[in-house]
Structure 1
């Protein structure tokens, strides 16, 4: 059993963090047996340490095309509105709100990306807004796709591009999604000092070896360079399954928001943590034994 407190009390996974001005908004999956929960929630903080909530952000009972499996939302602000790309029943939808606390409303009345539509599991959406205000959507388990969006936030400007094949190519033709450092799920894109950092999880979320890896590029579409040692969440003798992350800043520092297994010996439930990122020659390194709130 973990002997240190998580940042958010309770079973919460797949955390996505949004910084809006001086406020932080955290959108996790409510973890439950069977992962069948039907609502999305949001927490609010000023300092990454003290959180209020949860507040109801989106209820699948208000979504016509899905009833359960509310997983892994990705949220960002674009042209004054807040867009949530959410997984429901292994399909991806898009919802919009005037405030980061919601309520978010389903925009299309149907999935934006249908189940297995792009030859992968349609989960784990991430919304990246580049410095020129161009939005990009990333998603996928088994493959990582990226596509630029039109201003309506649901029309693809062009055909999606697979980023994961670049990672596989550098790892060797026999690499699988369960090999160390190879893409499995949970993409997240950040631009830091002119460099694009793509992070993801490899292995399976139920596997104690679940971890965050990264690659870098000078262009949003790549090619992405995969370092030989591209593990972000470092090995620990106490905390396991440290994956599905997003990133944010507080002051001059960067922080990683991720989940870990509550007790890998007896449950598949997960809890959310936040740890400072140390930068070593451009490599993001996270000591998962040092988290905010512990």
Structure 2
């Protein structure tokens, strides 16, 4: 069945541009209620970012899978000839969220568990892990240490084994949400601290001038927004400098950047940030000397 963007409920959209068949593969948090029991992940397939076939199931957990709820933010990366899905899951064993890694030989799945469980620290509330390959060809995962545990949400990086099955060493804190000038404290109905700053949805992007950019989401006056930070060293370890204002602040975020088949840059994110109204939004952008701006 062909669907338009306005008919697709999805959070955390992630587009894989597949040059092998000339099609876009749209992944994301696709459960009707992502805050509860998890069904799995679906993919939509299209050629123009407006009309989509699907949904097609790409991941459904077995009975012995380590999570039953909060199936969030799947990203799919091609690495060493296979497709690896980084996704957030709520662990059954200790009721903490973390990012696990799945694998498939096809973008259409089925994706199966690759890591033994989440590769983020076991006793952390973590989410939204993304793959980053450094200048030496070594894999890292950049992820968020959740504000629900640390109040001032952190963005961290950890080395991965070359087979992507586990983390190597301890995570490095790259920065905290309050260090950027644009987020404001998140006012939560049960967590009353004035120091709640959210970090969500990391995505790494190498600019044309070689500068390393990071997209991430937070809140401005309790409205979901998308921001950009940049590494002054060009390396994942930073130090990180933050843009003064978010690039999108109209109740949308958890974005990523990809190139269309025409060679144009596109930002995709979900908006509004309210279940079940979330839809994929596609925003043409331009990048010049590391600076990103929306195309009017």
Which of the five TM-score ranges fits, normalised by the shorter chain?
Answer: 0.7 to 0.9
1:219 shift after superposition: 1.7
Alignment of 1:188-227 (within 5 A): 188-193=203-208, 194-203=210-219, 209-217=223-231, 218-227=234-243
Quick one: distance in 1 between partners of 2:217 and 2:171? 21
User: What's the TM-score once normalised by structure 1's chain length?
Assistant: 0.79
Bigger strand fraction: 2
**What RMSD over aligned residues (CA atoms) do the two structures have, in Å?**
3.0
Structure 2 unaligned blocks of 5 or more: 91-96, 147-152, 188-193
Q: Specify the alignment match of 2:171 in structure 1.
A: 160
1:248 shift after superposition: 0.3
1:176 shift after superposition: 4.6
Q: Residue deviations 1:176-212, cap 9 Å, x none?
A: 5679xx76211111112211110101128xx862110
Equivalent residue of 1:159, what SS? strand
Q: Does 1:134 align with 2:138?
A: yes
Q: Specify the alignment match of 1:38 in structure 2.
A: 39
Quick one: distance in 1 between partners of 2:131 and 2:289? 27
Q: Specify the alignment match of 2:68 in structure 1.
A: 67
1:6 shift after superposition: 6.5
Quick one: distance in 1 between partners of 2:132 and 2:50? 25
Q: Specify the alignment match of 1:284 in structure 2.
A: 292
1:102 to 81, 96, 109: 109
User: What's the TM-score once normalised by structure 2's chain length?
Assistant: 0.78
Quick one: distance in 2 between partners of 1:63 and 1:199? 34
1:105 shift after superposition: 0.4
Number of equivalenced pairs: 266
Residues 226 and 254, structure 2, Cα contact 8 Å, conserved in 1: yes
Structure 1 unaligned blocks of 5 or more: none
Quick one: distance in 2 between partners of 1:9 and 1:58? 21
Quick one: distance in 1 between partners of 2:31 and 2:115? 26
Residues 60 and 70, structure 1, Cα contact 8 Å, conserved in 2: no
Quick one: distance in 1 between partners of 2:111 and 2:64? 11
Quick one: distance in 2 between partners of 1:185 and 1:97? 26
1:13 shift after superposition: 0.8
1:281 shift after superposition: 6.1
Q: Residue deviations 1:41-80, cap 9 Å, x none?
A: 1122233333222111111345521112211112211000
Q: Specify the alignment match of 1:15 in structure 2.
A: 13
Q: Specify the alignment match of 1:27 in structure 2.
A: 27
Equivalent residue of 2:169, what SS? coil
